[in-house]
Chain A
Amino acid sequence: MPRSISSIRATGLKAPPKHAPRRLASTNDVVKLQRLMTHILIRPLTKSDGLQPVWIDGRPMTEVAEEFIKPNDRLSAFERLQLYNRMYWFRLIDIMHDDNPGLRAVLGDKKFTRLIEAYLAKYPSRSFTLRNLCSRLGQFIREESRWTAPHTALATNVVRFEWAQTVAFDEAQLPVLSAAEIARTPPVRLRLRLQPYITLLALDYPVDTYVVAVKQRNALRTEASNAVDKVREAKQSKYVARPRRERIYVAVHRLDNWLYYKRLGRPAFLILQAIAAGQTLDDAVTAGGRRVKPEQVGGWFAMWMELGWLCRKK
């Protein structure tokens, strides 16, 4: 897999030293050693899941490994580094596998794994928490559509929907605004905000029902693993058809700490989007369009307040 130093620099990880330091006398030496090892560990595996045999400067990887890693009577320096290289990839691919069942269903397992390898090669983790591992996956798919073609549009939609679930799972919940508080400020001055855990999505595919169907299919397959009578049923439901194009508007949110997605009409979506963008209540309602009736808007706001979606903007 191609991976130039310039793409590595784009991620924040500086170029590795030409050689491992022979002694660690200073912090700079420690940094050099850690940079070199990190570059080696995050290099994509070979097709046979091994450490790549040639280093980025053309030297044999065995030579590079022997410069700083001790062998023992069972493992060479190369093999010892290979253990870490494999653990890095296997661990991260496993996590992304679990976090993206919908995307995996769109692409199939092999293509999904190739996408993840390319993604992590370009965007290794920049966060202390694995929770954020998929945060730039949507951006990567837009930048490098060859990994998802011919399903890039669908893949992009699915990734947005799946990331929205991560956000809905553990983002903050702010104090909810009451009707009395809203009434105290004139609509031309009142600015609201949405709960941080809510993501509004305008999508070109009904990926909400698709991802739920995929999850149900996966759950059935898991249940069936130890039950003979369910195996046939699981085989029958092995494939969930990719959805056809259809414009939908969805809010992914949580209620009582359970995840939900809620379909919205376009006007309601536009109003919420305007609120999220920081517009005044008056302007937000206008964003819903001329055809929207006041009683409709009143009904939506009543529902959004019941769901605890609206907070005061600081």
Chain B
Amino acid sequence: MPANSFNGHTDYGIGIGLRVPHYAHILEKKPVVDWFEIISENFMVDGGRPLQVLDQIMEQYRVVQHGVSMYFGSADKPDRAHLKKLKALVKRTKTPWLSDHLCWGSVDGTYTHDLLPMPYTFASAKRTAEKIRQIRDYLEVPICVENVSSYAEYHVSEMSEWEFLSEVVERADCGILLDVNNIYVSAKNHDFNPYDYINGVPHHRVGQMHVAGHTKFEKYILDTHDHPVLDPVWKLYAHATKLCGVTATLLEWDDKIPSFDEVHDEALKANEFIDGAKKAKNSKRAAKAGAPVASS
């Protein structure tokens, strides 16, 4: 299940986000890392140091592209210039899959640079799925859409967020980047059970997972990516891994970024839960096999 058509049939292990404060360490020390996730927009440029660094990284590591501005849910048509630059980067990185968010953030060509929540309606699910298909067909790479953390809901919504996510990905026939921290944040902000969310999505479509830290305030939680992952999020991750199988996982740490080793060590904590999921899977298989004849 983990290596599926939505992540290019790859088995990528545990990655971390490629961030500027770590460039020197990575290029000099060449630490062992399964893969790096890059923010596509940071490298959708025509030259200079960003592309030089990217090329150096790609000599040593596998990279996967993650976008923040495709806005699958915006009513605007996809921007041709944007897509052209993105496709050039896809060709450069040979990313096995590409992810961006299930959200909107621009209208009439004006950008908020935010990941704004979707109205969960059938009409917007249909439209969003069509846009994902168009973009995937142009880019010629599998797409995984990521659930965002949100702080507002609309009266017009007709279903739960996970029903909407399922509706979109089934219609678009695309993958899911399941961000378990975002599920936790939104669950607290909108009073739903995060386990219902994880149980409710099509597990065979999950091509990648995100974990991250968040910040609690008195009346809400913000998705800040400036802390280690909190225990309830790891528990959700363990649950998601049991249901979806061992999936390419990435730790996001975007603010107050500590040393490379600290970020990487935090990401590798996911191994604990992955091992648990593997053991559970193996014991289920063993149970199906009947009684052992002899020990090997």
Contact = CB atoms under 8 A, between A and B. Distances in A.
B41 A129 contact: yes
Interface stretch (B149-157, B228-236, B265-273): B149-157
A311 B74 CA distance: 40
A171 B151 CA distance: 37
Contacts, number: 144
B75 A171 contact: no
B127 to A, nearest CB: 6
A36 B48 CA distance: 39
A264 interface: no
A106 B87 CA distance: 41
Interface in A244-260: 254, 257-258
A54 interface: no
A173 B50 CA distance: 13
Interface string A35-63: 10110011000000000000000000000
Interface stretch (A11-19, A176-184, A288-296): A11-19
Nearest to B104: A34
A73 to B, nearest CB: 8
Interface string B181-211: 0000000011100000000000000000000
- Give the interface residue-count category, chain A: 35 or more
Contact of B41 (A21, A69, A72, A128): A128
Nearest to A123: B110
B75 A13 contact: no
Contact of A41 (B51, B82, B112, B127): B112
A23 B50 CA distance: 44
B109 interface: yes
Interface string A120-152: 000011111111000000000000000000000
B75 to A, nearest CB: 4
Interface stretch (B26-34, B91-99, B117-125, B137-145): B117-125
A112 to B, nearest CB: 20
Interface in A175-200: 196-197
Interface residues of B, number: 42
A80 B152 contact: yes
A87 interface: yes
Contacts of B59: none
Contacts of A128: 41, 69, 79, 82, 106, 111
Interface in B43-93: 44-52, 69, 74-75, 79, 82
B156 A23 contact: yes
Given A34-B104, A257-B48, A21 B220 contact: no
A284 interface: no
Nearest to A80: B152
B113 interface: yes
Nearest to A14: B108
B219 interface: yes
A11 B106 CA distance: 13
A270 interface: no
A259 B120 CA distance: 47
A173 B48 CA distance: 8
A262 B46 CA distance: 22
Contacts of B121: 23-24
Interface string A223-257: 00000000000000000000000000000001001
Given A75-B219, A81-B152, A83-B151, A131 B45 contact: yes
Contacts of A21: 156
B83 to A, nearest CB: 10
A74 interface: yes
A25 B126 CA distance: 11
A88 interface: yes
Interface string A292-309: 000000000000000000
Given A75-B220, A170-B46, A172-B47, A38 B152 contact: no
Nearest to B82: A128
Interface in B128-168: 151-156
Contacts of A258: 49
B41 A24 contact: no
B113 A170 contact: no
A33 interface: yes
Contacts of B104: 34
16 contacts: A12-B110, A24-B121, A34-B74, A41-B112, A41-B114, A41-B116, A69-B153, A75-B151, A77-B152, A83-B220, A88-B114, A169-B50, A170-B50, A170-B51, A172-B47, A257-B49
Given A124-B110, A130-B113, A169-B48, 17 more contacts: A22-B155, A23-B156, A24-B119, A24-B124, A29-B123, A30-B75, A33-B156, A69-B153, A83-B220, A84-B116, A91-B113, A124-B111, A126-B110, A130-B41, A196-B47, A197-B48, A254-B48
In the A-B complex, the 9 residue pairs with the smallest Cβ-Cβ separation, listed nearest first, are A172-B46, A170-B45, A170-B48, A74-B219, A80-B152, A34-B107, A128-B69, A13-B110, A257-B49
Interface of B: 41, 44-52, 69, 74-75, 79, 82, 104, 106-114, 116, 119, 121, 123-124, 127, 151-156, 189-191, 219-220
